[in-house]
Amino acid sequence: MNISTNNAISALSNAVEEAQKDKKRKELLDWLSKIDPSKNFNSAREKHESGTGDWLLVNNKDFELWKAVPNSLLWLNGKGECHSCFPKDKVWLLVQLVRENPF
């Protein structure tokens, strides 16, 4: 095979690979779009009580640093049996609310 044939085969191989990636991405996005997160969000908002999360949000230097630094990580640690005290969906809701409506 000559160089131009090798280049053509390589380009075709790359095009096929990209098409497969695009197809998998589209399948994933189609699957994700079937999920309606607004139901959980609205349900959690209706159950919100005043003062919920103050331990995290009020006068917490770690939280303030997390808000200020893009792409930073805030690690919430607690007892394993207490995960129902502050479930992950409420933590995520809190994160969304703070990022959308900073103090």
For the full predicted model, state whether its pTM sits above 0.75.
no
18 and 3 co-located in one domain: yes
List per-block mean pLDDT (blocks of 10 residues) for the chain, which spans 103 residues. 80 84 81 79 83 83 84 72 53 66 58
* Number of compact structural domains in the chain: 2
List, in sequence order, the alpha helices (H) in the chain.
Answer: 3-33, 38-46, 54-57, 61-68, 88-100
The per-residue pLDDT for range 70-83, each reduced to its tens digit, is 778 878 776 555 54
Count CB atoms within 10 A of the CB of residue 40. 13
Q: Which residues span the domain enclosing 53?
A: 36-103
Whether residue 56 is found in the same domain as residue 25? no
Residue 80's pLDDT is 52
What's the confidence (pLDDT) of residue 49? 83
48 and 5, same domain (yes or no): no
Please give the single-letter amino acid code of residue 1: M
| pLDDT score at 54 | 84
